[in-house]
Amino acid sequence: EDKVVQSPLSLVVHEGDTVTLNCSYEVTNFRSLLWYKQEKKAPTFLFMLTSSGIEKKSGRLSSILDKKELFSILNITATQTGDSAIYLCVLSLTDSWGKLQFGAGTQVVVTP
């Protein structure tokens, strides 16, 4: 079975800290790796990564993919309480429509 493993499962940080979320996977053939932020109900899209070694940035968030070592990281700098959420690492597989393989998520709690 394809696996997407996220670590840590949860963490608590103070505002202003930097967090690094890890995602390792066992799938070698996939279309893209996606990161989502899930606060209350719906996951909201953060990044899509397809190429190894190219960093994607959006404000205080950044992410990179390493296809050789089969992992991705999501960094959040200068964390704010609004960053508190579950962060999902998801693989879009190479079947006909890109079926998604979800990691279990990392719950981030940012305290004031």
Binding site for other proteins (CB under 8 A): 31-32, 34, 36, 40-45, 48, 50, 88, 92, 97-100, 102-105
Q: How far is the CB of 70 from other proteins (least distance, A)?
A: 18
Q: How far is the CB of 100 from other proteins (least distance, A)?
A: 6
Say if CB 36 and CB 88 are below 8 A apart.
yes
Kindly tell me which of 9 and 70 has the beta carbon lying closer to other proteins: 9
- The total of other beta-carbon atoms located within 10 Å of residue 87's CB is 23
By the 10 Å C-beta count (0-12 exposed, 13-18 middle, 19+ buried), 6 is classed as buried
Question: What is the spatial distance between Cα 21 and Cα 17, in angstroms, rounded to a whole number?
Answer: 13
Kindly tell me which of 45 and 78 has the beta carbon lying closer to other proteins: 45
Report the first-to-last Cα separation within the chain, whole angstroms.
40
Kindly tell me which of 32 and 75 has the beta carbon lying closer to other proteins: 32
Q: How far is the CB of 110 from other proteins (least distance, A)?
A: 20
Residue at 67: amino acid letter: K
Kindly tell me which of 14 and 41 has the beta carbon lying closer to other proteins: 41
